[in-house]
Amino acid sequence: MLWQPAKSGLSKTADWRGFVLMFLGVLIGGVGAIYLFVLLVDPYDVVPFSLPIDRRIVSISDRFMYPQIVRSKRFDSLVIGTSTSRLLDPQLLDRLFHSRFANLAMSSATAWEQQAMLDLFLRTVGPPKVLIVGLDSVWCDQQADRHRITFRGFPDWLYDDNPWNDYLYLFNYGTVEIAARLVGYHLGLYRERVRYDGYEVFVPPESQYDPVRAHDNIWQGVAPPPTELPPPASPAERRRLSFPALSWLDAGLARLPSTSLKILAFMPVHVAAQPAPGTPAADVEAECKARIVSIGRRHGAKVIDWRIASPLTRNDANYWDGLHYRVPIATRIAEELAAAALAGRESEDGSYVLLLR
């Protein structure tokens, strides 16, 4: 069973030696060249000796691209949240709050991912001038501690303080592709995908808005309201509910000084995407909101609620689908947000409720 090569002449030995050297040469050369390319272009802006080029956000992989926005230290205020907060334009918020805003809300971000972003900001930049937390159902997820990341994965190595472990994660297609796009941007072949303050209009252009299609998107799969409702949850039952993410929110706000303006805003999803009144889900959400108000009170935060049935959320024409409002609505929300948080102004048409001034 012992394998011994057949007796071979010197030329054959030399051939095999050349074969191995060629193999190792291409392998080491290929890996080295690609790795060097990634290090020099440095699309996540984590390598100290990378080329001094203008790094734009050329990928919509927000979890990978946004840490560099924080580390740039160009911004003193931030928005965290999910896609329901992504349309808040930082340039508008800058004017309204007299700050330098980055919108770091990420598509389908879990509460844990959002608190990781806030944590990175606090460690890197320090206390923000203004913090806007765009609240969604993820903060009221009763299993938020188990739902920490999504199928997209979360590059926690970009969010820690260890600059050395980053090098272990840079040799892969995703990074090579983004590095190539960045080179393409400088060659005029590729455009910036997300503005360097995190703002991106991820919904289609307004000119393509189709009310019939939007109506279908909003109501597709929405169950009719139940005809028989269970008795409402008792106070004891409500007390037993657990919202793991709220302890993260509490801890995050506790790290902010009183000089930081803290705004907790339930974002306006369409009524079709809100729990039907009287259902157990509505009970859970009501309890969650009450606890968030309580947390906000402890930390001097403003709490504003657009996640209610209102002229805004009942009107299909304001939405692309159940979760995502249109760009003009985003402008309105930003303006109302500033008015409510800075001047304590109540909603004129009942679109929001100022739960905590």
> Do the beta carbons of residue 183 and residue 303 sit within 8 Å?
no
Report which of 302, 311, 310, 296 is spatially closest to residue 340, judged by C-alpha positions. Answer: 302
> For other proteins, which residue of 126, 153, 204, 226 counts as binding (CB under 8 A)?
153
13 contacts other proteins (rule: CB under 8 A)? yes
27 contacts other proteins (rule: CB under 8 A)? yes
110: tokens are: 């879990």
209: tokens are: 């808005």
Pick out residues in 282-321 that bind other proteins (CB under 8 A): none
36 contacts other proteins (rule: CB under 8 A)? no
Min dist CB 62 to other proteins, Å, is 17
Min dist CB 182 to other proteins, Å, is 17
What is the four-CA torsion angle of 335, 339, 345, 350, rounded to 10 degrees? 20
Min dist CB 59 to other proteins, Å, is 14
18 contacts other proteins (rule: CB under 8 A)? yes
Pick out residues in 164-203 that bind other proteins (CB under 8 A): 168-169, 171-176
Please state, as a whole number, how many other Cβ atoms lie within 10 Å of the Cβ of residue 202: 14
The window from 17-25, 85-93, 265-273, 334-342 that contacts other proteins (CB under 8 A) reads 17-25
Q: Binding residues for other proteins, how many (CB under 8 A)? A: 33
**What single-letter DSSP state applies at residue 222?**
P
Cβ contacts of 139 within 8 Å, gap of 6 or more: 111, 243, 245, 246, 249, 288, 292
CB closer to other proteins out of 60 and 317: 60
Cβ contacts of 299 within 8 Å, gap of 6 or more: 250, 253, 254, 256, 262
> Do the beta carbons of residue 140 and residue 284 sit within 8 Å?
yes
CB closer to other proteins out of 34 and 354: 34
> For other proteins, which residue of 25, 204, 226, 230 counts as binding (CB under 8 A)?
25
190: tokens are: 């590729």
- The residue ranges that bind other proteins (CB under 8 A) are 1-5, 7-8, 12-13, 15-20, 22-27, 30-31, 34, 153, 168-169, 171-176
